[in-house]
Amino acid sequence: MSDDRTAVKNPVRLRAIGFNPRANPYAAWGSFIVLVILWQIGSSTGFISELAMPSPVAVGKALWQLIVSGELWVHLAASAQRLAVGWVLGTVAGLTVGFLIGMFSWARSPGVALVSALFPIPKIALLPLFIIWFGIGEPSKFATIGFGVFFPTVINTFSGVDNVARNLIRMGQSFDLSTWSIVRKIILPGALPTILSGFRISSSIAIILLVAAEMIGAQYGIGALILSAGNLYQTDQLIAGVVVLSLLGLSVSWLLGRLDKWLLSWR
């Protein structure tokens, strides 16, 4: 025993290291800045040819031109309207169908089968049909975005409903709550976290589909701007449009983050 006490003491090595990535907002912004700087250096030195990729300065100028000419706001307003209407239509329909599938046996199997069959169809491939069904005006654009949003929303909603703890529903029944009360006070809030995280996906899909939606008959809109810039080889304007889309995505994501905080404060 005494030998043990007098022996050399080795500190125990800490072994639980790593596997715990932490967020660092400065690094996030820094990565953007570094990328843009490298890109500008590449353009300035001629390593990146103007034909292949416009320089950040050229993109900035194109963006500035869009802002001062007021064109950007016209495009943005047109796109925002399409995004909002299309997303709301797709989301309302998706939530409704998702709840039906989540709650009723008669809707379950047919609904899941149809959604699984239709979800993977690229909505862009259906564009000619949308034109026949909805014309070349705004409705076909709403439909393109709406359909894109609808399917993931359905899937998210019913898996959200599935994930609501059964014991809570049984509890509601044991207190003789009405079906409507159970849906509104137990199932809806219980499915809300899943539904909200689905909103992040569906809003990104809506932005992705904006370009497709604005392929047909759109004179204004960020998607139309990008398309026409592409057709005209105005690559600086094209990238400027892409930057605007990206900023739009970031703003939507921020807004949804706020919504999360507000609605899910109980978590």
Partner 1 sequence: MFSSQIRRVARGAMAIAAVATLSTAVAGVASAAEKINIATLAFVSSAPLFIAKEKGYFADEGLDAELTFFRAAQPVSVAIASGDADFGVTAFTGGFFNLAAKGALKVIGAQLHEEPGYDGSAILVSNKAYDAGLTKVEQLGGHSFALSQVGSSFHYMIGNVAEKAGFDLASMDLKPLQAVPNMIGALKTGQVDSMIIVPHIAKPLANAGAAHIIGWVKDYVPYQVGGLFTSTRNVEQRRDVVEHFVKAYQKGVADYRAALLATDENGKLVKSDSTDEILKIVHKYVYADDPEEKAFPKIRNGAMFITKDARLDVADVKKQVKWYQDHGYVSKDADPDTFIDTSFIPPLDAK
Partner 2 sequence: MRLEISGVSHRYDQMEALRDIDLTIEPGEIVALIGPSGCGKSTLLSIIGGMLQPSEGQVSASGAVPEGCLNPLTYVFQDFALLPWRTVAGNISLVLEDHKLSKVERAARIDEVLAQTGLSDFRNAYPKQLSGGMKQRVGIARALAVRPAVLLMDEPLSALDAQTRILLLDEFSALFARTGMTAVYVTHNLNEAVRLAHRVVALRRRPGTIKEIHTIDVPIDQRHEGDPQIAAHEAALWELIRDEAIAADKELEHVG
Contact set for partner 2, span 183-212 (CB under 8 A): 185-186, 189-190, 192
Total of residues contacting partner 2 (CB under 8 A): 21
What is the DSSP code (8-state) at residue 183? I
Two structure tokens written together for 123: 């909505």
Instruction: Quote the CA–CA distance of 177 and 121 in Å, as a whole number.
Output: 41
Among 117, 175, 231, 262, binds partner 2 (CB under 8 A): 175
Burial letters 64-79, b for 16+ CB under 10 A, else e: eebeeeeebeebbebb
236 vs 55: CA distance, rounded Å:
8
Q: How far is CA 267 from CA 21, 190, 207, 260, in A?
A: 22, 11, 29, 10
Using CA atoms, how far residue 186 sits from 68, 178, 211, in Å, is 50, 11, 38
Q: Report d(CA 159, CA 134) in Å as an integer.
A: 31
Chosen residue from 19, 26, 106, 266 binding partner 2 by CB under 8 A: 266
50 binds, among partner 2, partner 1, none (CB under 5 to 8 A by kind): partner 1
Q: Least distance in Å: CB of 92 to partner 2?
A: 22
Minimum distance of partner 1 from residue 50's CB (angstroms): 6
Contact pick of 168, 196, 242, 256 for partner 2 (by CB under 8 A): 168
CA 214 – CA 137 distance, rounded (Å): 10
Q: Is residue 171 near partner 2 by the rule CB under 8 A?
A: yes
Told to check if 181 binds partner 2 by CB under 8 A, we report: yes
Residue type, 231: N
CA 27 – CA 47 distance, rounded (Å): 26
Q: Closest approach of Cβ 185 to partner 2, in Å? A: 6
- Indicate the residue among 44 and 173 with the shorter CB distance to partner 2: 173
Tokens of 184: 């509104």
Nearer to partner 1, 103 or 218 (CB): 218
CB of 102 to partner 2, least distance (A): 18
Identity (one letter) of the amino acid at 42?
Answer: G
Answer yes or no whether residue 173 interacts with partner 2 by CB under 8 A.
Answer: yes
Smallest separation, CB 94 to partner 2 (Å) = 22
- Binding site partner of 232, from partner 2, partner 1, none, Cβ cut-off 5-8 A by kind: partner 1
Binding site for partner 2 (CB under 8 A): 165, 167-168, 170-178, 181, 185-186, 189-190, 192, 264, 266-267
